[in-house]
């Protein structure tokens, strides 16, 4: 019997069983071997040269990237017919995670393998794919993605770069400027977005960097990711062959959005590797550093920090691989209809736009938290450039800006879910209205179950009800003007993010409860996470309600939210200490 997939955003109104999700503990031997190859490459080629990369050595980065291509690491996403390995989306995400521990190398590597290569694979014609993709898969060619302009950041479609068809009809004459382009200093191919003539929307082109009129600026001086080449690119009457139009005329904006969805979801995996490295560095230092005659890892305050790092990472990882399997399953279904793996893949990724934005926001903020705590655990040494955590702290900050700022992505979380519901993908508004109108009947008796996982599931269900109440209240009050109420949308987005991550964690722990010899530790992680999430959800709901309601109605809704966000108290000290003690004993992140 075919599994019924959740549609994007449908988690708000429908539950799934633990057996229906993929968890990292299920990686195959082949997947683990691929991940180990990535780790071995970082140890052998990246870490010994990271100081030189940090000096902005373009040629060194190019050399290391090409070596990774020669070893096959760049071809994980590419089908075998184009010289790659055609691995599943889950495997692609695992490679994204593992390479994420590579500091600025990871940025260059992911930009090439993702946004530099996949637009051509997913949207290119047969000849374009044959010409470029095999060489991109092996690193013979290195790629870049050129969307952002000085006056067009979040509003990508407002870009001014222009293309005009030549008189003989053989070329598009490209003029304009792009900025913040990763790999600009050494890329051989560029996916460039421009408007043809006076078109309202963008088109996309494959531009070879060697073409006359392509001018690469000097690398930017950046806060972090100093080893990656980031520069402006200028196009001065560049003659791009007409056969290098990527996709159809006017399809560029759709391509750009689809690739951004992919970039967001893969960033959600990429930050996991960086976070695991930061946590391992944190515990190793805590186990070595002594104060007052004892290791600082014995102090309760340090244990609290270590456990908090683990909890957030473990939760993020649960959400990442949950949606990764959903995408794999949807790719299979879509390929039956279209017969094209590339188009099926990008359509599947684009479908899960809500979850992609959730992973991007949650993952980037999770890594910022962990990187900050890593510096704090190291104390003064954490501020020294001698330590990995100093570099990790600086490198982490860009993730909240990459692939659309977190502010934009928070708006997308809510807006996209509502639009999917309006299209009829699932019944959001009917259930939301019913809950809103019956708010005075919502009491503290909603959670009656005593069995551990049933009770936790009831908590998650109540979180979802709280979200639906806030959605209906906001829509009812602001109607079409809701798009301008970004503070309220942010409140709802935070509730959705915490709920999706909480549910993903719950589903994973429920699976682990049956396969782990000592599941108590994973229940500790779940207990603390849901306990903390309930406070975030309550505060966000209160803020939203007090914006769109007042008087007796506000009091009724707030009372309902208090009941829906109530969870049983737990001994967070003991739970966190058990989590930290395992980390301290292993002296490494091994959850």
Residues 6+ apart with CB under 8 A from 225: 103, 104, 107, 394, 395, 398
Q: DSSP for 137-180?
A: HHTSS-EEEE--BTTBSSSGGG---EEEE-TTSSEEEEEEEEEE
Q: Report the distance separating Cα 130 and Cα 133, nearest Å.
A: 6
Q: Which residue has the tokens 């109540």?
A: 462
485 is catalytic: no
Dihedral sign for Cα atoms in the order 575, 576, 582, 588: positive
Q: Report the distance separating Cα 99 and Cα 402, nearest Å.
A: 17
The dihedral formed by the CA atoms of 442, 448, 452 and 455, expressed in degrees to the nearest 10: -20
Secondary structure class of 241 (helix, strand, coil): strand
Secondary structure class of 65 (helix, strand, coil): helix
Secondary structure class of 236 (helix, strand, coil): strand
φ and ψ at 404, to 5 degrees? Answer: 90, 130
Q: Could you tell me which residues are beta bridge partners of residue 173?
A: 164, 239
Q: Report the distance separating Cα 84 and Cα 78, nearest Å.
A: 4
Q: Report the distance separating Cα 169 and Cα 241, nearest Å.
A: 9
Residues 6+ apart with CB under 8 A from 155: none
Class of residue 33 by CB neighbours under 10 A (exposed 0-12, middle 13-18, buried 19+): exposed
User: How many C-beta atoms surround the C-beta of residue 232 within 10 A?
Assistant: 20
Find the catalytic residue in 403, 438, 485, 517: 403
| Residue 229 tokens, joined | 């080449």
Judge contact between 544 and 474, C-beta under 8 A.
yes
Q: Report the distance separating Cα 88 and Cα 94, nearest Å.
A: 10
Q: Report the distance separating Cα 342 and Cα 348, nearest Å.
A: 10
Catalytic positions: 403
């Amino acid at each position: 019997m075919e599994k019924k997939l959740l549609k994007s955003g449908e988690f708000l109104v429908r539950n799934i069983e633990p057996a229906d999700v993929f968890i990292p503990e299920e990686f195959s031997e082949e997947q683990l071997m691929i991940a180990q190859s990535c780790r071995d490459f970082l140890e052998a080629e990246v870490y010994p040269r990271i100081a030189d990369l940090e000096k902005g050595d373009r040629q060194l980065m190019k050399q290391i990237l090409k070596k990774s291509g020669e070893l096959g690491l760049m071809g994980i996403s590419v089908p075998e017919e184009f010289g790659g390995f055609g691995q599943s989306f889950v495997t692609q995400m695992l490679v994204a995670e593992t390479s994420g521990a590579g500091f600025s190398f990871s940025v260059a590597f992911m930009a090439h393998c993702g946004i530099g290569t996949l637009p051509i694979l997913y949207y290119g014609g047969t000849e374009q794919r044959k010409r470029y993709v095999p060489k991109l898969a092996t690193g013979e060619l290195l790629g870049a993605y050129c969307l952002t302009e000085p006056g067009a950041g979040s509003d990508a479609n407002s870009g001014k770069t222009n293309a005009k068809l030549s008189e003989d009809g053989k070329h598009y004459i490209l003029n304009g400027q792009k900025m913040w382009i990763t790999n600009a200093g050494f890329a051989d191919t560029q996916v460039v977005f421009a408007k043809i003539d006076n078109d309202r929307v963008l088109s996309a082109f494959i531009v070879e960097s060697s073409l006359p009129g392509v001018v690469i600026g000097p690398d930017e001086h950046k806060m972090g990711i100093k080893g990656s080449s980031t520069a402006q690119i200028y196009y001065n009457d560049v003659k791009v062959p007409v056969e290098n139009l990527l996709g159809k005329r006017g399809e560029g904006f759709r391509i750009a959005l689809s690739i951004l969805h992919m970039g967001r979801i893969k960033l959600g995996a990429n930050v996991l590797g960086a976070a695991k490295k930061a946590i391992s560095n944190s515990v190793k230092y805590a186990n070595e550093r002594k104060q007052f005659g004892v290791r600082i890892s014995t102090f309760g305050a340090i244990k609290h920090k270590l456990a908090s790092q683990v909890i957030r990472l473990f939760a993020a990882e649960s959400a990442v691989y949950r949606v990764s399997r959903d995408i794999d399953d949807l790719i299979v279904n879509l390929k039956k209809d279209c017969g094209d793996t590339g188009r099926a893949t990008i359509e599947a990724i684009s479908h899960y736009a809500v979850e992609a934005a959730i992973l991007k926001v949650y993952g980037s903020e999770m890594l910022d938290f962990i990187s900050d705590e890593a510096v704090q655990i190291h104390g003064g040494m954490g501020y020294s450039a001698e330590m990995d955590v100093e570099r990790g702290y600086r490198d982490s900050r860009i993730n909240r800006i990459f692939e659309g700022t977190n502010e934009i992505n928070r708006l997308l979380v809510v807006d996209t879910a509502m639009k999917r519901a309006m299209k009829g993908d699932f019944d959001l508004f009917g259930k939301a209205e019913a809950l809103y109108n019956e708010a005075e009947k919502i009491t503290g008796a909603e959670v009656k179950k005593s069995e551990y996982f049933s009770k936790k599931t009831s908590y998650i269900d109540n979180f979802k009800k709280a979200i639906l109440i806030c959605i209906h209240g906001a829509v009812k009050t602001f109607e079409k003007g809701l798009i301008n109420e970004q503070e309220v949308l942010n409140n709802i987005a935070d509730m959705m993010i915490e709920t999706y991550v909480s549910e993903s964690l719950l589903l994973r722990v429920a699976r682990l409860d049956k396969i782990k010899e000592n599941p108590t530790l994973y229940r500790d992680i779940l207990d603390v996470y849901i306990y903390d999430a309930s406070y975030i959800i309550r505060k966000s709901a209160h803020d939203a309600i007090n914006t769109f309601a007042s008087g007796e109605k506000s009091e009724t809704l707030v009372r309902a939210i208090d009941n829906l966000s109530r969870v049983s108290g737990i001994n967070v000290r003991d739970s966190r200490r058990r989590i930290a003690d395992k980390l301290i004993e292993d002296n490494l992140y091994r959850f």
